[in-house]
Homo-oligomer: A and B are copies of this chain.
Amino acid sequence: ILLSRTTRCTCISISNRSVNPNSLEKLEVIPASQSCPRVEIIATMKKNGEKRCLNPESKMVNNILKALSKNG
């Protein structure tokens, strides 16, 4: 008997809109796991707390991470 694992990804859809690093409250990186087979990147916006899922393979995400690290 194969037990099927329920997939529990947080992101249903991925936004391709650009995100200004300065407008971010936080960025969460959730590695691939047994509960979700793909990396998830969740941006929380300062203004309204809105959460947006971003494409981990986009250049934008790399740029955001670079920008955030430099602001320290």
Complex copy number for this chain: 2
Q: A57 touches which one: B29, B56, B62, B72 (CB < 8 A)? A: B72
How far apart are the CA atoms of A32 and B71 in the complex, in Å?
7
Does A49 make an interface contact (CB < 8 A)?
Answer: no
Within 8 A of B (CB), among A2-61: 21-22, 24-33, 38-39, 46, 56-57, 61
Q: List 17 contacting pairs A-B, 8 Å CB cutoff, sorted by A.
A: A24-B31, A26-B28, A26-B30, A26-B31, A27-B28, A27-B29, A27-B30, A28-B28, A29-B65, A31-B68, A31-B71, A32-B71, A32-B72, A56-B68, A56-B72, A57-B72, A62-B69
Of all A-B residue pairs in the complex, the 7 with the closest CB atoms, nearest first, are A39-B72, A27-B29, A26-B30, A32-B71, A56-B72, A38-B72, A31-B68
